Every structure is written in C-alpha cells, then in structure tokens.
Amino acid sequence: MRRAFSEQLAAAASASGVEVDPGWIRVERVPRGKPGHLGSPLPFKLAGAVGAPPPAVAADLASRIEVDMIPMAVEVTPSGGFVNLTLDLREFFSEVIGSARSGELGRGDPTGKTVVVEHTSVNPVHPLHVGSGRNAILGDSYARILRFLGHEVSARYLVNDSGRQPAVLAYGRSKVRRARPRGKPDHWYGLIYAAANIAFEMRREDLPEDRRRELEEALVDLRRRGGEVVEEVYSSILGDDDPESELTSLMRGYQEGRPDAKALFREVSESVMEGFVETLARLGVSHDAYDWESDLIWNGWVEEAARRIGEAGYLERDGEAAYVNMWRAIREREDVRRAFHLGEGDLERLEREGKLADVVPARFYLQRSDGTWLYTGTDVGYSVYKLEAVGADVVYNVIGSEQRLEQMQVRAGLALCGHDPDRLIHFSYEMVELVGAKMAGRLGRYVTVDEILDEAKKRVMEILGGRKGEVEAEDIAEAVAVGAVRYALVSVDPSKNVTFSWDRVLNLQANSGPFIQYAYTRAGGILRRAGGVPGDFDPGELKSEAEEDLLMRVAEFPSVVRSSADLMRPDLLAQYASDLAAAFNRYYETHRVLGSGGGVEAARLALVDAVRGALGSAMDLIGIPRLERM
C-alpha cells in the first residue's frame, strides 16, 4: 500500500516533468491534527525542479494521483507542502488485525536463500561474560529475524580450539592432571586459563612495571577464587625451563592430530563447551551447528583456501610462515579493493597520501613459521566452508568491532579464493565495559552471564514473594530474568559501547524486558477472562484516538522488522516492543474492554488480540520469553 502510494507519487511527478525513483520517496505517518494517515514530503524536493512553491506542487501532485490504484485508500489531499493519503480505516484495520492475530503480520514468504549467521564463537577458555553475552544475544536475535523474513538460516558457532589461547589452557590443565573440575566446568577452567596466562606473561623479560602490578592483583583475586589449583598451575609454569616451546609443540601436535595432544585439547575444550551450551540454553540462544576449528584444519579446508590463494598468485613465504601479499592483491584486483570497502579512486588517493599502510597492512599472515595455522588462516578456510559446504548465499559474522580489520582481510582472502567478498558481511558491535575496569578474560576479570542470570532471578523471586507455588515461581523468575538480561543487551544500538550496570540489567520497570512481558500477560489475561474472541467484529467500533494510535503501531511492525534486518539493528525491535507495550498499558488504563458490551467489546477484544500477536512476534524475534502469568 505504501508502495502503491509511492508509485503513484512517482507517476504524478513524472507527469509534471520530474522523474523520481519510487523507492526514494519517503512515506511516513501523519502527525496528530493533520489530515490523512500517510503523508509524503515529496513536494519540498520537487519545488526547486518544477519552479513552484511546495504547496502548489502538493496540490498539483494530489490532483494527478489515481486514488483507485492504491489499495484501501479513499482520498488524497495536499497539506502544506505534503501530500497526504487518507485510508479506509475500517478496511485497513480489519486487515492488520487479522494478520496480527494469526502471528503472520510481517512474516516473509520463503526466499529460497540460505544465510549463515555465525555468532557467539567465544574461545572455549573461560566462561561467557557480558561481552560474549551481547554477541550471543545480538546474533541469536538477528538469526531469528532473518528466519522470520523467510530465509533459510543456519546459526553457527566456530569453536576456536586450535590457537594459542586454548593451548595455554591445555598446557595449564596438564599441570594439574589429577584435579577434578569443581562446579560448572567453564568457570573452573576459566581460573586455570587465567593462572596459566598470567604465568606466561610474568615470564616475559620486558614486562613493564605497571603491567606486573596488574597481573599480581589479578593473581591475588584468582587465588582467592580458585585456591590450590590456581597456585599449582601458576607456580609450575613459572618453574618450567621453556614453556614457550612446549606450548608451541603442543599446538602443533594438536593441529597435526597427534593423539596425546588431541586427547588433552578435546577434553578441555569439550568441557568448557558443555558449560557454554548450558548457559546459552538458559538464554534461549541456540546454534544449528558447532564448527570446530581443528576439524576445518584436519579436513583440509584451511589448506585448500591457502592453496587457492597460492594459485591466484598472492601467497608468499617468509621461511615457513605464509602470508598474502596484500598490497599487490589490492593494486591488481577490484574484488580485493571491495573487500576493504575501497571505492573507485580510493586506492590512488591512499597511495598518493602515503596512507595505504595505515589502512591495509602489507602482509596478511595465515600460517606461523612453525607451520601452525593462525586464526586468520583458519577463518579464511572457514569462510570458504560456509559458502561451499554449508551452501550459504550470504554469511553474517557477528563479531566485535575490534576485529574490523581482520574481517576485511578475511573478505580479501575469500576474494582470492574465487568468491565475491560481499557475500561475507561483518555484523559489528561495540564492547561492553565495566565501570571501574575493563573486562579481561585473560586475567580472569569478568562478569559472567551465569551470575547475571542468577542475580536477576533472585530479585524476581523476591518480588514474587509467596504469591505463587514454588515450582511455578521458579519458572517465572527464570523467564523474567532471561527477558531482563536479553532486553538489556539487545536494546542498545550495536555501534555504541555500553557500560555494564547492574541497575540497567536488573531493571524490572518500564523500558525493560519484564515491562514488555507484563503488558503481554495483561493482554492475555483479558482474552482469557473473555473466554475467546468473537470471530465477527466491526473495526469501525474502534473510534478513539488511543485505539487508532495502537493499531497504527501494530501496523508498523512489518517495516520495523525489515529495517532491523537491513540495518543489522535488532535494537529497533526492542524499542518497538517497548513502545507498543507502553501504548497498550496506556490504553489499558483508559479503555475498559470486558463489559464494554456488544460490538464495541468484540472489536476491542480483537484489538487486544492483535496487540498480543504483534507484541508476541516482536518478543520472539528478540528472544524475550512470552509468559501467560507472572
């Protein structure tokens, strides 16, 4: 309908001598007090070209538009410099309500496109913290959104088990072979990893004094949390003759598939992953597949990628180490320039200003001189795997903004393997900071997703008091906690850094997950007490401003879903859900539904059901659990 309106506007414009692209025309909701329902400021744009003042242009355009060609439209009126469209609200509402109630509003037909969303992908060396939580929740929400729009979505987790970090953990683990994990495995291994990592860093000869102090502080905290095990890992690595080369040989052994290394690494990584899966399941985050980095190496995908880059003529060696000659590639190939988002002439400009090295490092290393693969190398292999083995048309990598350069390098690698780099898209988000300090997994300093969920749940239990049976209270508290945490992490624009605050995450009032859940249960409550919604109703009975406003918001749902997908902004849906919940609460305070009688009651029940449908869909897309009672 909006499209039909745009097309009519474009046709009218062309009749008066100006060609415009219908997609370029803005159509928005008309503010209160102005005529019509949808309006466009197009006349302002055209005024210059036509040589007439905007109101005259508006009148001219309005007179040329064929109202009959626009579904559900009754009238077109000029209003100042705007052209406004009046809808047949009865027909419009009847359609919106119908599709909102069935949950189909905004859902896309199958597109036949396969889309990979890689998200979470935390190295299995310490528990999930708020930062990884943001990734998991953004990624999971985005996967849900794309699925809703009709794409075949495969959500995937890259288990990074072959790099230096897992090797540090495995090495630390080897120092306390007999110890049995206590508590949740990812938390226990997190302590070992941090202890080992600190030991490695402490041995560096050029360690600056302030860094040493920081490490010592972290160690004190670790000892307090982990006791003997921490101490043993730390002191035995400090006492080793040459832990660096042992680490290297361990890593090489694993990448080559040596049985002893394999047993050690897999034991460690698999236990940590068990902990992750448990936490992610609590959050309602799911993956269709876990791809192990080591498998990609053993199955030859990584080697194959390197081979193709070599075949293309851009793989060079520095001893055993292998790297891509990026400058030559970017000079010679348009697709590699595109991988770095460089347009026509950008390269020349960078070269002229001597800034090429600042934007594009000359060498992109795939392999170390000891023959082991770097993360960057396996990532190129993985990207090829996603396109060829998984069959993705497009891949979204949900990865922190600090990996922006690496992601462009991988895109370049993909181009050199013969694929269009634009099929790999970096869904970037900024980091979560703690108030006083930065989070540092390597030092064991983080706020974990588990403790946030537990704390949120505890607070909800307090509010629930004795109101519910114990089992029911548990379930409700868990669902509310999940809603609170997910909302807190999904509701901020991914491009902004967020400072972690307990107040924000544990907020149960307006502008929160629980606020949305509450509005949803209220709507459900009305419908439940009514014992069903009459099949027949007349939307003409919905006459008040609040009702019109509420329905217009429901009607906006499809375009919000579309925007959140196109812009990679799941937060738009969180905002939408919160606004719709608030509008519903206001409506609830001022309009009695049950007992309003006859046709009015039937229409209001249908409206409530429509709100419940749209709100429920929005909640599903950002993973806020629907609750019937709370």
- What is the footprint of RNA within residues 20-59 (CB under 7 A)? 26, 28, 30-34, 39-41, 44-45, 47-48, 54
Q: Which residue stretch of 226-234, 298-306, 509-517, 618-626 sits at the interface with RNA (rule: CB under 7 A)?
A: 509-517
Unique residue bearing structure tokens 């600190």: 198
Of the candidate residues 75, 244, 463, 597, the single one contacting RNA (CB under 7 A): 463
* 281 near RNA (CB under 7 A): no
CA-wise closest residue to 447 among 401, 483, 398, 488: 488
CB 515 within 8 A of CB 578: yes
Residues 223-262 that bind RNA (CB under 7 A): none
Quote the least distance from Cβ 624 to RNA, whole Å: 12
CB 497 within 8 A of CB 435: no
Unique residue bearing structure tokens 């360690």: 207
Quote the least distance from Cβ 605 to RNA, whole Å: 9
SS3 492: coil
Quote the least distance from Cβ 499 to RNA, whole Å: 5
Of the candidate residues 487, 515, 537, 557, the single one contacting RNA (CB under 7 A): 515
Q: What is the DSSP letter of 583?
A: H
Of the candidate residues 503, 531, 536, 598, the single one contacting RNA (CB under 7 A): 503
* Residue closer to RNA (CB basis): 62 or 230: 62
Quote the least distance from Cβ 88 to RNA, whole Å: 19
Q: Which string of b and e fits 234-253 if b means at least 16 CB within 10 Å? A: bebbeebeebeeebbebbbb
Of the candidate residues 100, 384, 526, 533, the single one contacting RNA (CB under 7 A): 526
Edge-first strand listing for the sheet containing 82-87? 28-29, 38-40, 82-87, 73-79
List the structure tokens of 98.
């119908």
Q: How far apart are CA 574 and CA 486, in angstroms?
A: 10
Edge-first strand listing for the sheet containing 321-325? 315-318, 321-325, 363-367
Angle (nearest 5°) at CA 616 between 610 and 617: 95
* 92 near RNA (CB under 7 A): no
List the structure tokens of 485.
């945490």
* Residue closer to RNA (CB basis): 178 or 529: 529
Quote the least distance from Cβ 179 to RNA, whole Å: 25
Of the candidate residues 99, 120, 123, 197, the single one contacting RNA (CB under 7 A): 123
The number of residues that bind RNA (CB under 7 A) is 101
Q: How far apart are CA 518 and CA 512, in angstroms?
A: 10
* Residue closer to RNA (CB basis): 312 or 464: 464
Quote the least distance from Cβ 228 to RNA, whole Å: 28
CA-wise closest residue to 160 among 83, 254, 33, 263: 254
Q: Which residue stretch of 60-68, 171-179, 266-274, 496-504 sits at the interface with RNA (rule: CB under 7 A)?
A: 496-504
Quote the least distance from Cβ 200 to RNA, whole Å: 11
Of the candidate residues 272, 593, 614, 621, the single one contacting RNA (CB under 7 A): 593
Q: How far apart are CA 524 and CA 530, in angstroms?
A: 10
Of the candidate residues 16, 114, 299, 376, the single one contacting RNA (CB under 7 A): 376
Quote the least distance from Cβ 144 to RNA, whole Å: 19
Q: Which residue stretch of 86-94, 280-288, 446-454, 493-501 sits at the interface with RNA (rule: CB under 7 A)?
A: 493-501
Q: How far apart are CA 243 and CA 198, in angstroms?
A: 13
Unique residue bearing structure tokens 């419908």: 527
Q: What is the 3-state secondary structure (H, E, C) of 594-607?
A: CCCCHHHHHHHHHH
Quote the least distance from Cβ 180 to RNA, whole Å: 28
* Residue closer to RNA (CB basis): 179 or 440: 440
* Residue closer to RNA (CB basis): 331 or 629: 629
* 211 near RNA (CB under 7 A): no
Say which residues have a Cβ less than 8 Å from residue 32's Cβ, sequence separation at least 6. Answer: 545
List the structure tokens of 46.
């055209």
CB 157 within 8 A of CB 305: no
Residues 383-402 that bind RNA (CB under 7 A): 401-402
Site track 425-444 with RNA (rule: CB under 7 A), x = hit: -----xx------x------
Say which residues have a Cβ less than 8 Å from residue 193's Cβ, sequence separation at least 6. Answer: 125, 126, 165, 168, 169, 172, 441, 442, 444
List the structure tokens of 10.
């474009």
Which uninterrupted H or E stretch holds 28? strand 28-29
Of the candidate residues 82, 157, 254, 427, the single one contacting RNA (CB under 7 A): 82
Residues 317-356 that bind RNA (CB under 7 A): 318-319, 321, 355
Quote the least distance from Cβ 224 to RNA, whole Å: 26
* Residue closer to RNA (CB basis): 34 or 225: 34
Of the candidate residues 10, 81, 397, 410, the single one contacting RNA (CB under 7 A): 81
Q: How far apart are CA 97 and CA 39, in angstroms?
A: 22
Q: Which residue stretch of 66-74, 180-188, 257-265, 511-519 sits at the interface with RNA (rule: CB under 7 A)?
A: 511-519
The strand pairing partners of 426, in sequence order, are 397
Residues 548-587 that bind RNA (CB under 7 A): 563, 566-567, 569, 571-572, 575, 578, 582, 585-586
* 629 near RNA (CB under 7 A): yes
Q: How many helices (H) and strands (E) does the chain have?
A: 26, 14
* 588 near RNA (CB under 7 A): yes
SS3 372: coil
Of the candidate residues 522, 551, 606, 623, the single one contacting RNA (CB under 7 A): 522
Q: How far apart are CA 242 and CA 247, in angstroms?
A: 9
The amino acid occupying position 588 is Y
Quote the least distance from Cβ 173 to RNA, whole Å: 17
* 358 near RNA (CB under 7 A): yes
* 592 near RNA (CB under 7 A): yes
**Length of the chain (residues):** 630
* Residue closer to RNA (CB basis): 225 or 355: 355
* Residue closer to RNA (CB basis): 99 or 564: 564
Q: Which residue stretch of 128-136, 172-180, 192-200, 508-516 sits at the interface with RNA (rule: CB under 7 A)?
A: 508-516
CA-wise closest residue to 83 among 28, 20, 24, 1: 28
Quote the least distance from Cβ 448 to RNA, whole Å: 18
Quote the least distance from Cβ 393 to RNA, whole Å: 22
Site track 134-173 with RNA (rule: CB under 7 A), x = hit: --------------------------x--xxx--------
